[in-house]
Amino acid sequence: MPNMNPKKMDMPLQDPNVRNKNFDEVALGYTLEQAMEEADRCLQCKHKPCMNGCPVAVDIPGFIGKVKDGDMEAAYKIIKETSSLPAVCGRVCPQESQCEEKCVRGIKHESVGIGRLERFVADYHIANGSTDVVIPTSNGHKVAIVGAGPAGLTCAGDIANKGYDVTIFEALHKAGGVLVYGIPEFRLPKAIVQKEIDGLKAIGVKVETNMVIGKVLEIDELFEMGYESIFIGSGAGLPNFMNLEGENLKGVFSANEYLTRFNLMKAYETGVDTPIFKAKRAAIIGGGNVAMDAARCAKRVGCEEVYIVYRRGMDELPARREEVEHAEEEGIIFKTLTNPVRILGDENGNCIGMECVEMELGEADDSGRRRPVIKEGSNFVMDIDCMIMSIGTSPNPLILSTTDGLDANKWGCLIADEDGKTSREGVYAGGDAVTGAATVILAMGAGKDAAKAMDEYIQSK
């Protein structure tokens, strides 16, 4: 008889008033006992609906069954069969709209804590598991991966395991992509990302940092160098702005810049040379996970008032519910149904305020979401000295503009089929470079599909 507790085992967390002053991980993870008790809530459904919700189709009841039995290494092996970054996905996947949404337990009560269990299994493996590395037998073929983010790392791992000689080219000085420059330490410790990358290196994957493909080398040159197939996972790195008056004032940043200073450059640590703007009252524009991350970073370096300014309502926030709750607990103030129209500056070019309008929700638009409409005459000024634009990103055109025969849509997203195949023979693509800004797990799924297709392509040549 399974554990019929209607509620998920609570995740132990750092106290909100402690954690909003440090960068240590917020969620502390289950203990072995907690994990086994939660695993016992799984009904082991024969038709495994949860698997359909997972972009990489992890055998969820399979691994949870092993957790229940206390065999963590077996559980880890099951997850690893289809997911290359379990410690990452267990932390940052939007489980509530994927696997956990399909969980039968979730129909009447709370779903099984699949993400929390995945994280537990991965962390348990890092702490206690076997470190034996099985180096795949070389098949003599070379492939190149552009971008060391979730899509590229997954593709690299999968295809390296088939015996390919893999080189990843990364533009920044550190591999990890959005996992290192975007997602903060308190949500995804960088040591965990590094472990995953070290794991790839251990099976022979080479990582070349400081390599901006499209500049120092072009896709065609990679082919000339003997790479038989190339995967482009260059992400959606270009920040969007709103084209508001005053957007170039000091104190106005893209979330990319603000977060990169924190996460990649570690600007909050002492002894680090990269500066960070010390705001007193910051407004983060946008309602996604990136906005939550930026807000919580600002809070952690002593910003007195941090606002999330979002044009729709609380129910429409695109961020994960858990992130919204954590942000609220940490003292982030939500100013929803509000949109900026102008940024105010002083004579020295500093941001000193933001003129906003109130919004109300009108008819549903094509996406099915109710469209925000301006309430006429509702203009008011928010007294802020910092504004962080977190309204999405677009793909970087550096590769597109230097590669002949590579098709893209009007937003600059590379066009690829479901296997990641682009318009150029031998060139595959996936992740945000194809979809525009999306999630880590979707990018991983794309990397995975592409690895399979690249293997088939090379073997059929």
Partner 1 sequence: MFKIVEREELNPTVTKLVIEAPLIAKKANPGQFIIVRTHELGERIPLTIADYDREKGTITIIFQIVGKTTRLLNELKVNECVLDFVGPLGVASHITGMKRVCVVGGGVGCAIAYPTAKGLHDNGVEVTTIAGFRNKDLVILEDEFKAVSTNFHLMSDDGSAGTKGLVTNVLEDLLSNGEQFDEVIAIGPLVMMKFVCMVTKKYNVKTVVSMNPIMIDGTGMCGGCRLSVGGKTKFACVDGPDFDGHLVDFDEAMSRSRQYADFEQHEREDNCNLLHKEVA
Residue 241 binding partner 1, by CB under 8 A: yes
* Residues constituting the chain: 461
Quote the CA–CA distance of 287 and 390 in Å, as a whole number: 8
Strand partners, 190: none
Contacts of 150 (CB under 8 A, 6+ apart): 85, 88, 177, 178, 179, 233, 431, 440, 441, 443, 444, 447
Closest distance of CB 5 from partner 1, Å: 45
Name the β-bridge partners of 238: 394
Q: Which listed range, 8-16, 100-108, 215-223, 432-440, lies at the site for partner 1 (CB under 8 A)?
A: 215-223
Q: Which residues contact 115 (CB under 8 A, 6 or more apart)?
A: 89, 90, 91, 93, 95, 99, 100
Residues contacting residue 315 through CB under 8 Å, at least 6 positions apart = none
CA–CA dist 252, 238 (Å, integer)? 16
Query: Helices (H) and strands (E) in the chain — how many of each?
Result: 18, 16
Distance between CA atoms of 331 and 211, rounded to whole angstroms? Answer: 40
Q: Based on the shown chain and the rule CB under 8 A, indicate whether residue 228 belongs to the binding site for partner 1.
A: no
Closest approach, Cβ 151 to partner 1, in A, equals: 16
- Work out how close the CB of 397 gets to partner 1 at its nearest, in angstroms, rounded to a whole number: 8
Q: Is 136 a binder of partner 1 (CB under 8 A)? A: no
Give the nearest distance from C-beta 54 to partner 1 in angstroms.
29
Candidates 266, 342, 370, 371: give the one binding partner 1 (CB under 8 A).
266
Q: For partner 1, which is the closer residue by CB, 271 or 368? A: 271
Nearer CB in complex with partner 1: 11/211: 211
* Kind of pairing between the strands at 281-285 and 305-310: parallel
- 335 Cβ contact list (under 8 Å, min separation 6): 283, 307, 308, 309, 310, 356, 382
Considering only 7, 15, 46, 275, the residue that binds partner 1 (CB under 8 A) is: 275
Q: Which of 237, 288, 372, 447 binds partner 1 (CB under 8 A)?
A: 237
Residue 254 found at the interface with partner 1 (CB under 8 A): yes
- Position 84 contacts partner 1 (CB under 8 A): no
Q: Is 261 in the site for partner 1 (CB under 8 A)?
A: yes
Identify the residue among 137, 348, 367, 460 touching partner 1 (CB under 8 A): 348
Beta carbon nearer to partner 1, 235 or 420: 235
CB of 433 to partner 1, least distance (A): 13
Give the separation between CA 431 and CA 445, rounded to whole angstroms. 8
With respect to partner 1, which residue has the nearer C-beta, 181 or 457?
A: 181
Q: Does 247 bind partner 1 (CB under 8 A)?
A: yes
Asked if residues 339 and 380 have their Cβ atoms less than 8 Å apart, the reply is no
The two structure tokens encoding residue 375? 């309430």
Residue from 450, 452, 455 nearest 147 by CA: 450
Q: What is the DSSP string of 54-72?
A: -TT---HHHHHHHHHHT-H
- Reading the block at residue 328, the tokens are 């609220």
Contacts of 264 (CB under 8 A, 6+ apart): 172, 174, 180, 181
Among 57-65, 263-271, 374-382, 447-455, the segment contacting partner 1 (CB under 8 A): 263-271
**Binder among 273, 315, 366, 404 for partner 1 (CB under 8 A):** 273
Residue bearing tokens 């080219």: 169
Q: Which is nearer to partner 1, 249 or 295 (CB)?
A: 249
- Min dist. Cβ of residue 217 to partner 1 (A): 7
Residue closer to partner 1 (CB basis): 39 or 172:
172
Provide the mask over 303-342, with x wherever binding to partner 1 is found by CB under 8 A and - wherever it is not: ----------------------------------------
Report if residue 271 touches partner 1, rule: CB under 8 A. Answer: yes
- Does residue 184 touch partner 1 according to CB under 8 A? no
Q: Which is nearer to partner 1, 209 or 409 (CB)?
A: 209
CA distances to 9, 11, 104 from 108, rounded to whole Å, are: 16, 21, 8
The answer to the question of residue 220 lying near partner 1 (CB under 8 A) is no
Residue numbers at the binding site for partner 1 (CB under 8 A): 171-173, 181, 209-212, 215-217, 237-239, 241, 243, 247-250, 253-254, 256-257, 260-261, 264-266, 269, 271-275, 277, 348-349, 396-398
